[in-house]
Amino acid sequence: MQIGSIIAYLPVDSKALEGHNLICVVFVFVLSTEKFRFKSWMVQHKKKYSAEEYHRRQQVFVSNWRKINAHNARNHTFKMALNQFSDMTFDEIKRTVLWSQPQNCSATKGNYLRGTGPYPTSVDWRKNMQAEQQLVDCAQDFNNHGCEGGLPSQAFEYILYNKGIMAEDAYPYQGRDGVCKFQPKQAVAFVKEVANITLNDEEAMVEAVALYNPVSFAFEVTDGFLSYRKGIYSRYFLIQRGKNMCGLAACASYPIPRV
C-alpha cells in the first residue's frame, strides 16, 4: 500500500486527523527502517540486483525480517536472525539450495536390538561434545559433503574406520568447509559399531536415548529453520511422538563407543 493512498482516506476532523497523522508517521518510519536494514544487509552479503528484482527482494527480505522479530519477541527456546538466505522465499530455497532427492539412508534397516526397560524419566546427554568440524572437514570419503550435507550413520562409520574423533575444544567448530586437521594422538572418542534404528521405530529411538546413547537423525528442513541462530530448535520428544514429524524417525542411528 502506498502512503499517498493512506493519506487520501484520512478524515477531515482535526482531532481524528492528528491521530491518523501519528499512525502515518510511524508507518513511514517503519518503512524507512526496513529499507535501511535491507540496504545494510545487501552490503554485508555483497548482493546486487536489477532494478526490477530489487523491489521483489526487498519485499521478501522485509517479510522474513518481520517474522524473525516477531519470533524473537516471544518466549521460544531458540532465536532467529538474518543470514545469506534472507532475501529468498522458502520455495526458492527448496529449489536452489536443498537437495531435491532423499539420500540413500543406511539406517532404514535396523540392527538395533530392543531392550526391556525400565527407562528413566529423563536423560540429559549434553556433555563431552566431540568435534563436529572434524566431520565437516574430514569425512568426505564416507559419502558426506561437509556443509552440503551428509548422514549421521556415515559420519559414525568415518569415526570407526578413522580410529577416533577429537574433542570440540581441540578442533573448534567453524561453520564452514575447511582442510582436515585431525590429529590421531588427540582423539578422545572411538566407535566400536554403528547401531541403526529401523525406519519409523520411534519407540526404539526413545529407548536408545534412555538406555544407551544420544541418537542422531536426519532432519527435514522447514521454513522456520532457515533463520535459526542459536538455542534448542526442537524438543521433539517433549512435543509430539508417533507422527514422524520433520522426518525425524526416518533415518536414526547412534554409535556404540569403544571403551
The per-residue pLDDT for 4 is: 35
From residue 199, alpha-carbon distances to 110, 114, 193, 215 in Å are: 7, 14, 19, 14
71-85, 108-122, 209-223, 245-259: range with lowest mean pLDDT: 108-122
Q: Residues 160-179: pLDDT tens digits?
A: 999 999 999 999 999 889 99
Once rounded to an integer, what is the mean pLDDT over residues 149-158? Answer: 85
CA distance 56 to 112: 50
Q: Greater confidence, 10 or 218?
A: 218
The per-residue pLDDT for 99 is: 63
The CATH number corresponding to 101-257 among 3.30.70.270, 3.90.70.10, 3.10.20.30, 3.10.310.40 equals 3.90.70.10
Q: Greater confidence, 23 or 200?
A: 200
Q: Residues 189-213: pLDDT tens digits?
A: 999 888 888 777 778 888 888 888 8
Residue 247 has pLDDT above 70, yes or no: no
Residue 17 has pLDDT above 70, yes or no: no
Q: Greater confidence, 25 or 72?
A: 72
The per-residue pLDDT for 175 is: 85
Once rounded to an integer, what is the mean pLDDT over residues 72-97? Answer: 91
- What would the grid cell of residue 239 be? 512435543
Check if CATH label 1.10.287.1770 holds for domain 3-92: no
Residue ranges per structural domain of the chain: 3-92, 101-257
Which H/E stretch holds residue 40?
A: helix 14-44
The whole-model pTM stands at 0.61
The per-residue pLDDT for 198 is: 75
Q: Residues 89-122: pLDDT tens digits?
A: 999 988 887 765 555 565 445 566 666 667 777 7
Q: How many CA atoms lie within 13 A of 113 on its CB side?
A: 2
Q: Which of 139, 128, 102, 138 is nearest to 218 (CA)?
A: 102
